[in-house]
Structure 1
Amino acid sequence: MNQTLETSTRKVILSMLKTQGPLSVQDIAKQLGITEMAVRRHIHSMEKDNLLEATLMRQAMGRPTSVYTLAPQADELFPKKYLQLTLDLLDELLEDEGQTKIERLFEGRQDKLEARYQPRMQAKDLEARVAELAQIQNENGYMVDWTDEGDDRYVLSEHNCPIAKVANTYQQACQCELNLFRNLLDASVERTECLAKGASKCVYIISKK
């Protein structure tokens, strides 16, 4: 079985479990018209990826049989509308409360992020703080790399922005990120390129104050 078919069958099984609830290997094989051995191979793979959970179900006759349901992690594989919901809520807030309220909202988010990450910056020199910031941003999906330019000067680049569509509409997101970097690094930070303004990446020049 080629890789494309393997992936397609896996997606179909996940969709079946999403829409039909608990199913046994026999149920899945019958609906798909494939062998139980083939189904078990897919099940085993998805269990390894923590996408499925198995429970034993007693039957009127014979031995108990395993039925499978989606694990919580599998929910992320299905379409979500979080981005549009976020934009709609921000638009409503802007219309009802005005620009000042939007700014306070982003500033509040900045404060929360700063409180969360500041402990990771303690007892570190500037280079170590830059490295830690890069790690934090990578954990959040920003695809960061950084270089040491010498003389306590660093260049940090973000090649992806998980909140790009929000930032394109609400520039406060970009300003709060810049302020967050300055506070976490306790350094001079200037942004020279910005994804939200059409650049291919966000670039920050970092140096001692």
Structure 2
Amino acid sequence: MSKNQIKKDVSTRTRRGIIDLLKEQGGMDVVALSSQFSLSGMAIRQHLNALKEEGLVMNVEESRPMGRPAKLWVLTPAANRFFPSGYSDLSVSLIHSIKEAFGNEGLDKLLDVRNKNMQEQYLQHLGGISDIREKLEKLAEIRTIEGYMAEVKTQDDGSFLLIEKHCPICEAAAVCTGLCKNELHLFQTVLGNNVHIERGEYILAGGRNCIYTVRQNKP
């Protein structure tokens, strides 16, 4: 392999790494990216400018309490192609076909069957766990395998955040809101009646993530 090819491969891996990190962390400045990749600011800017030319990243400004706004780099919607899509085109086509053939009632029945099957699968993994934090960690693990890039964070008030940073069924959910409605019911079912769960930030409503707040009910 030639030196030019090696250099090209390294650049490709670095740029894909930047895309993955921005998906995981959200907006980041050049300093933060430089520290993650052990590269100079100039080298990181070169990679970012190349990604910008491809339409994959863009600049935004974030206000700070003091000083100038921070200049952050974020992904554009075009970067979604690097992440699982859940066979979006096929899913959307099938949803339209089901509506045409069986109406909304038929689609609702299909979603009920899908939700029931997912409940059974999730409960097989979560059924023997009693601690809510452990349940959420296991749920996040399952969702990550499915392409949702999920994680759990503990809040100061003792509640938890289940954060999903990617939606592999986004296109399908946009034309079938029942998918997201059933998802919230699914989480409530598998986590149990001793918790209250609500969705705050929502990707389909323009949010960067889907964020669920989970609180244990008082005895």
Please say if 1:135 is aligned against 2:141. yes
Structure 2 CA distance for aligned equivalents of residues 85 and 108 of structure 1: 19
State the shift of 1:82 in Å: 3.7
**Alignment partner, residue 212 of structure 2:** 204
Alignment counterpart, residue 182 of structure 1, candidates 152, 176, 188: 188
Cα deviations across residues 141-170 of structure 1 (Å, max 9, x unaligned)?
111122112554101111100111001111
On the 8 A contact 1:126/1:152 being kept in 2, the answer is no
Amino acid at match of 1:144: A
Q: 2:174 aligns with which of 165, 168, 175?
A: 168
Task: Describe the superposition over 1:75-122 as per-residue Cα deviations: whole angstroms up to 9, x where unpaired.
Answer: xxxxx9942222112101112211121122112111101101102212
**Amino acid paired to 2:121:** R
| Secondary structure at the counterpart of residue 152 of structure 2 | strand
Q: 1:119 is paired with a residue of what secondary structure?
A: helix
Q: Which runs of 5+ in 1 are unaligned?
A: 8-79
Q: Which residue of 2 aligns with 1:24?
A: none
CA RMSD of aligned residues (A): 2.2
CA distance in 2, matches of 1:82, 1:141: 12
Quick one: distance in 1 between partners of 2:191 and 2:89? 32
Contact 2:155–2:161 (8 Å) recurs in 1: yes
Q: Any unmatched runs of 5+ in structure 2?
A: 11-84
Is the 2:148–2:164 Cα contact (8 Å) retained in structure 1? yes
Greater relative contact order, per chain length (Cα 8 Å cut-off, separation 6+): 2
Query: Which residue number corresponds to residue 101 of structure 1?
Result: 106
- Kindly name which structure, 1 or 2, has the bigger radius of gyration based on alpha carbons: 1
**Counterparts in 2 of 1:3 and 1:180: CA distance versus 1, 3 Å:** farther
Kept in 1, the 8 Å contact 2:129–2:135? The answer is no
Q: Distance in 1 between matches of 2:170 and 2:115?
A: 16
Percent of pairs with identical residues: 25
Alpha-carbon distance, 1:4 to partner: 7.0
Amino acid at match of 1:162: P
AA aligned to 2:210 is C
Report the TM-score, using the length of structure 1 for normalisation: 0.60
TM-score, normalised via structure 2 length: 0.57
Query: Measured at CA, do residues 3 and 154 of structure 1 come closer, stay the same or move farther in structure 2, by a change above 3 Å?
Result: same
4+ residue runs over 6 A deviation: 4-7
